[in-house]
Structure 1
Amino acid sequence: MTAAMAGFALFALMMTVVPGPDTLLVLRNCLRGGRRSGAATALGAAAGSLAWAVAAACGLAAALQRWDAAFTAVRLLGAGYLAVLGVQALWACRRSAAPGPGADAGPSGEVAPEAAATALRGFRQGLLSCLLNPKVGIFFVAVVPQFLPQGRSVLGATLLLGTVDAVIAAGWLLLIALGAGRLSTWLRRPRVHRGLEGATGGVLVALGLGTALETAAG
């Protein structure tokens, strides 16, 4: 079992470090709400991954994959959610490009974290982003069986490997949040803030539209 866990942990780490929607959300919320919001987003994404592991262990993810209508609906909801977050980021970028008399700025001209970008909101966004991505469930259904040791309970082993994956995801995303938090002063400079907000928003919209088009074409 130890060898199987080590092999799965290495594979999960390789998959986790590839930038995706969760990474973008962590960076975006660090930018808007500081390190605490980014860390909460990371924990929300990890919780979503663990929920998918439980679903896979119970057979729900496999059933979802077989039921085309439900799978398509979840993918489209996820695509729409990413697109909405991207549009919000682009709108925030547009607003900050022309600040009014009551704009939020620090004494040195830095953009202050938005009060609305709370840790709770960050956790919810990370959780929903992962839960609305059925590819995470398919990952567990397709990959985890390759690492299940013989003679072990499928339910228990899947839950254990799912926990390993969630811990790895949380650790990596928390490192990203920590790094972004340390650069928060520089990241909240008006020009840098607008550039990153616009870039993140554009990528999120592109991911949402790409997923929607891929689902429609399929």
Structure 2
Amino acid sequence: MRAHVAAFLVAILPLIAMPGASLTLLTQRVARDGARHATPVILGTVTGLYVHATLAAAGLSALVMRSSAAFAAVRLAGAAYLIGLGIWTWRARPVAAAAGEPGRRPAYLQALLGNVLNPKAAAIFLTLVPQFLDPAAALLPQLLVLATAQAALITVWLLGWAVLIGRARRSLRSDTASTIVRRIAGAVLVGLGIRAVLA
């Protein structure tokens, strides 16, 4: 199993390294509030991985992937979420004005939904993961091991970015810089949503 896990991590690394919703949310949160605020984004992303692993074990993800209508519905829901989140991020008020807003920046939920509603994340567990499973062994424990390995790799990747962004945060403290970062993050999220629609 160790060899399978190592091979899986090598295969999954390029996918993790591709910029996505989690990295965009993390960049926005850390640039505004500091590196320690990367935690809810990471936890939300990791929770989403375990949701996909559980659904894959239950066969629900496979059902969605086999049904073009169900897959399209999940894809469009995820795209709508990313586009909505991107617009909200773009239009959000500066930090000082937003400090008292109720429900301010639910980063954990944003990251969780961004992962769970991403059909490509589900596809990983239905196309890539099976190549590293032993058909003679119990499915769920193997899925959880691979999900944990993926979660660890994503955590290291996002923590590395959090440290880098946190160190650059001093230059991003002005309202102008904060607005630029926020609007870039919003544009990226909208772009990811549009890409999901067109995929």
TM-score (norm 1): 0.81
What residue in structure 1 maps to residue 133 of structure 2? 148
Q: Structure 1 stretch 118-127 or stretch 50-59: which is displaced more?
A: 118-127
Distance 1:119 1:179, change over 3 A: farther
Aligned residue for 1:149, secondary structure, equals coil
Aligned-residue offset at 1:184? 2.2
Name the CA distance, whole Å, in 2 between partners of 1:199 and 1:58.
Answer: 38
1:179 aligned onto 2:171: no
Preserved CA contact (<8 Å) 1:57 1:159: no
AA partner of residue 84 (structure 2): V
Name the CA distance, whole Å, in 2 between partners of 1:120 and 1:153.
Answer: 39
Preserved CA contact (<8 Å) 1:41 1:123: yes
Preserved CA contact (<8 Å) 2:53 2:125: yes
Deviation readout 1:175-204 (Å, 9 max, x if unpaired):
222322232222222232222212111111
Preserved CA contact (<8 Å) 1:22 1:45: yes
What residue in structure 1 maps to residue 26 of structure 2? 26
Aligned-residue offset at 1:207? 1.5
Preserved CA contact (<8 Å) 1:40 1:120: no
Name the CA distance, whole Å, in 2 between partners of 1:26 and 1:60.
Answer: 29
Distance 1:117 1:20, change over 3 A: farther
Distance 1:47 1:185, change over 3 A: same
1:191 to 163, 176, 186: 176
Distance 1:62 1:150, change over 3 A: closer
Distance 1:24 1:78, change over 3 A: same
1:203 aligned onto 2:188: yes
Give the total of aligned pairs: 199
AA partner of residue 39 (structure 2): A
Distance 1:121 1:36, change over 3 A: farther
Aligned residue for 2:96, secondary structure, equals coil
Q: Which structure has the bigger radius of gyration?
A: 1
What residue in structure 2 maps to residue 137 of structure 1? 122
Structure 2: where are the runs of 5+ without partners?
A: none
Distance 1:191 1:53, change over 3 A: same
Higher share in helix = 2
Percent identity, aligned pairs only? 35
AA partner of residue 148 (structure 1): L
Preserved CA contact (<8 Å) 1:50 1:162: yes
Deviation readout 1:69-100 (Å, 9 max, x if unpaired):
222221111111111111122213xx55xxxx
Aligned-residue offset at 1:149? 3.1
TM-score (norm 2): 0.88
